[in-house]
Chains A and B, each alone.
Chain A
């Protein structure tokens, strides 16, 4: 079993739809949870991060972490064509030595005008 599982998609939605992206993980030591967005032929950029369980909202984006289920989600409200990208979940443990992020494989999202 991979440490982080993420459905690669592709996922295609109409403009204005609510998008739900998800990852599951197996390592209970993970404490920090992130979502990166990667546009075609570009490097990933950090979109959201959450520490431990809970929700975090930033504009149209909401990140949720359920550590009891080892499940994280990213919701995009009122999706726009500019949201078309690959979304990568990532996570890491705590402690000063925890430099390594474990990434999901990414979900490719297309928002159709």
Chain B
């Protein structure tokens, strides 16, 4: 009954360091997403993958890259972390064409960039 699993849950980086956030879902969903959540800004879409083999930019893609490794896994990479990327990152998944808008979210990865 895992749903969407994100690792790591917490990470502290120094400016300029790189890291990858991992996400895996076990619900056989086609679509996966990466959001960031900041106080006063709400949830903002970074990148999404409508299906295996495709990725598209969301609202705030600058400074990030993604890889849809297979149907289950969608990773988010910060190549050169900046303090502005301090945030809580959420991975989510959904069935293709889920018009109910039901995204299933992970528990989040809290990233601090010093």
* Chain A contacts to B: CB under 8 angstroms: 6, 8, 32, 34, 41-46, 49, 51, 88, 90-92, 94, 96-97, 99-101, 103-106
* Chain B contacts to A: CB under 8 angstroms: 4, 31, 33, 40-45, 48, 50, 56, 58-59, 90, 92, 94, 96-97, 99-103, 105-108
Residues of B within 8 A of A88 (CB): 42-43
CA distance A46 to B98 in the complex (A): 12
Query: Top 10 nearest A-B pairs by Cβ distance?
Result: A43-B105, A105-B42, A103-B43, A34-B101, A46-B102, A49-B100, A103-B42, A32-B101, A43-B107, A44-B105
Contact A100 B100 (CB under 8 A): no
Q: Which residue of A lies closest to B42 (CB)?
A: A105
Contact B42 A49 (CB under 8 A): no
Min CB gap A94→B, angstroms: 7
Min CB gap B112→A, angstroms: 15
Q: Which residue of A lies closest to B108 (CB)?
A: A43
Residues of A within 8 A of B50 (CB): 97, 99
Q: Which residue of A lies closest to B38 (CB)?
A: A105
